[in-house]
Amino acid sequence: NTTPKSSRVVVIGLGRFGGALALELAERGSEVLALDADSRLVQQYADDLTYTAIADTTDVETLRQLGVPDFHRAVVAIGDLEASILTTSLLVDFEVPHIWAKAVSAEHARILRRIGAHHVVQPEHDMGERVAHLVTGRMLDYIEFEDDYAIVKTLAPAEAANLPLSESNLRVKYGITVVGIKRPGEGFTYATPETVLHRNDILIVSGRSGDVEKFADLT
């Protein structure tokens, strides 16, 4: 078996989140072991994933027999609190080095972190926050990083139109950096000081969250 350990992932729970995640991993070339207690779901994914098994993952012997302790990466995608916590704690006991877990609430997230999950995601909460930024402003996409830094996709405001970036002074005035730019019918290109923006060009802009939001609100 020549697959590097880093690209072998065990995905536990094949609901909407775990299922989509497992398929994307497989698509990107990972070897995926997918486990779910529901035989119907396991059958549904069997053709597209490397290994699938029907399993109650709260049982330590079951996990051992399936070779789960040998994996370097695991994702727990179970919404049920008890099953999620029990499964995650077994992976922590196995000392799986990279454990990702899905939480359905802030309390669930806190417990998962407390018992030793390395990465906790709250898909509905996080996506809700992200979409909020898109609903009210002119932003087309928004990614915020932990340290209050964001990258957004937005439209060029009127005041920056028909000027090279070196003259519109956006970095000084708004504290943002234009990283990339896309014109209708063309791909993205990196922005340079000579790049002349046109009104409603699509821009990729980075900076502190508050600053990029203010910039994206300009029309």
Q: Which is nearer to ligand ADP, 127 or 158 (CB)?
A: 127
Interface with ligand ADP, residue 38, by CB under 6 A: yes
Q: Within a 13 Å sphere around the CA of 99, how many CA atoms are in the beta-carbon half?
A: 27
Of 25 and 181, which has the nearer Cβ to ligand ADP? 25
Nearer to ligand ADP, 36 or 211 (CB): 36
Q: Binding to ligand ADP by residue 64, rule CB under 6 A? A: no
User: In the complex with ligand ADP, which residue's Cβ is closer, 79 or 180?
Assistant: 79
* 3-class secondary-structure state, position 32: strand
What are the angstrom distances between the C-alpha of 85 and each of 61, 110, 114, 120, 187? 17, 11, 10, 12, 45
Closer residue to ligand ADP (CB): 15 or 164: 15
Q: Round to whole Å and give the CA distance between 204 and 214.
A: 14
Ordered strands of the 188-190 beta sheet:
141-145, 149-155, 202-208, 177-182, 188-190
Q: Does 14 bind ligand ADP (CB under 6 A)?
A: yes
- For residue 23, state whether it binds ligand ADP (rule: CB under 6 A): no
**Strand runs labelled E in 103-212:** 119-121, 141-145, 149-155, 177-182, 188-190, 202-208
Applying CB under 6 A, among 23, 53, 83, 140 the residue interacting with ligand ADP is 83
Question: Residue 143 and residue 192: Cα distance in Å, rounded?
Answer: 22
Contact track, ligand ADP, 138-157, x by CB under 6 A: --------------------
Q: Can you give the binding site for ligand ADP, defined by CB under 6 A?
A: 13-18, 35-38, 41, 55-58, 77-80, 83
